[in-house]
Amino acid sequence: MKNGILAIAMVGVLVACATTTSSTGRKQYVGAVSQEQLNQLGAQAFTEAKQKGPLSQDAKQNAYVRCVVDAIVQQLPAQQRAIAWETAVFSQSEPNAFALPGGKVGVNTGIFTVAKSQDQLAAVIAHEIGHVVENHHDERITRQMGAAGAVQFLGALAGDYGQLAAQGGGMIAQAGFLLPGSRAQETEADVVGQRLMAGAGFDPRAAVALWQNMIAAGGGRPPQWLSTHPDPQSRIGELQARAVELVPTYQQAQAAGRRPRCG
């Protein structure tokens, strides 16, 4: 009986999947979970991350991150803007950041060692938010659905978080929310992130300086959290070319009064 119910659930999940196209024209296979379920999973993953901590109590750091996130969110589609976005700053030295469905953004204090201006921090945050708006979490989960993993994941969707954690290391590990995306997803997040930051009034050329800082800090390679990117020098070339194209967008944003003053 139980196996029959699971089989029916699996069929329902697979039938719901569909092919769509991202804003950059890339074909995506998505739909294994609903947006509501994605938001619930994002909230659970964010709660777990905050519980693990430690969280920064520095009011200035938290306000700084919040300011950058707010400016970028204003460039999102109406449905995404309507979300009550939440931020958290973690007292961790690794230069890392993430964004999750449901409007959750986390930043490690270590990112401030490589993102040395508000524009560079915007490049990081816009990249991570790009993953959310381009449905990369949905895409990743849909691709991971199958066999035993699907059974565990369906249990998570039913609210059985405790059992899932005991069986496989927690929601975050199972859903893959905080794991690196594919190379195609990372490249797409670069493209979308640079567009978002320029539209918000942040200088898109800062993404180039950010990458140069990360490479210098990593001894010639970017941090582990960006390990799925193509060769760093190739990435810098692409960021530079795209920045030239986006400077007019940035200038128009500034002229329209979008001049973030976050720190």
- Whether 196 maps to a domain, the answer reads yes
The per-residue pLDDT for 15 is 44
Residue 219 in this model has a pLDDT that exceeds 60:
no
Residue 18 in this model has a pLDDT that exceeds 60:
yes
Strands of the chain, DSSP E: 18-21, 27-30, 86-90, 97-100, 104-108
Nearest-angstrom CA–CA distance, 122 and 66:
11
CB 128 within 8 Å of CB 99: yes
Residue-range definition of the domain harbouring residue 58: 2-255
Q: How many domains does one find in the chain?
A: 1
Residue 84 in this model has a pLDDT that exceeds 70:
yes
Nearest-angstrom CA–CA distance, 180 and 227:
8
Choice among 63-72, 104-113, 121-130, 164-173 with the minimum mean pLDDT: 164-173
- Whether 262 maps to a domain, the answer reads no
Per-residue pLDDT reduced to its tens digit, 36-49:
988 998 999 999 99
- Whether 32 maps to a domain, the answer reads yes
Nearest-angstrom CA–CA distance, 56 and 65:
12
Nearest-angstrom CA–CA distance, 261 and 254:
12
**Catalytic residue, candidates 36, 86, 128, 245:** 128
The pTM of the full predicted model, rounded to 2 decimals, is 0.80
Take residue 150 and report the two structure tokens written for it.
């699907």
Active site residue 128: yes
Residue 195 in this model has a pLDDT that exceeds 70:
yes
- Whether 207 maps to a domain, the answer reads yes
Rounded mean pLDDT, 115-131: 96
What is the residue-wise DSSP string for 155-177?
HHHTT-HHHHHHHHS-HHHHHTT
Nearest-angstrom CA–CA distance, 236 and 227:
15
- Whether 260 maps to a domain, the answer reads no
- Whether 98 maps to a domain, the answer reads yes
Confidence band of 12 (pLDDT split at 50, 70, 90): very low
Rounded mean pLDDT, 73-92: 95
CB 131 within 8 Å of CB 189: yes
Residue 54 in this model has a pLDDT that exceeds 90:
yes
Confidence band of 33 (pLDDT split at 50, 70, 90): confident
Residue 16 in this model has a pLDDT that exceeds 60:
no
- Whether 153 maps to a domain, the answer reads yes
Rounded mean pLDDT, 67-92: 96
Per-residue pLDDT reduced to its tens digit, 131-173:
999 888 888 887 776 434 544 554 444 443 333 333 333 444 4
Residue 198 in this model has a pLDDT that exceeds 80:
yes
Residue 81 in this model has a pLDDT that exceeds 60:
yes
**Geometric angle at alpha carbon 175, from 81 and 72, rounded to 5°:** 20
Residues 6+ apart with CB under 8 A from 47: none
- Tell me the three state secondary structure of residue 29: strand
The per-residue pLDDT for 170 is 44
Residue 14 in this model has a pLDDT that exceeds 90:
no
Residue 65 in this model has a pLDDT that exceeds 90:
yes
Residue 215 in this model has a pLDDT that exceeds 90:
no
Nearest-angstrom CA–CA distance, 83 and 120:
24
- Whether 242 maps to a domain, the answer reads yes
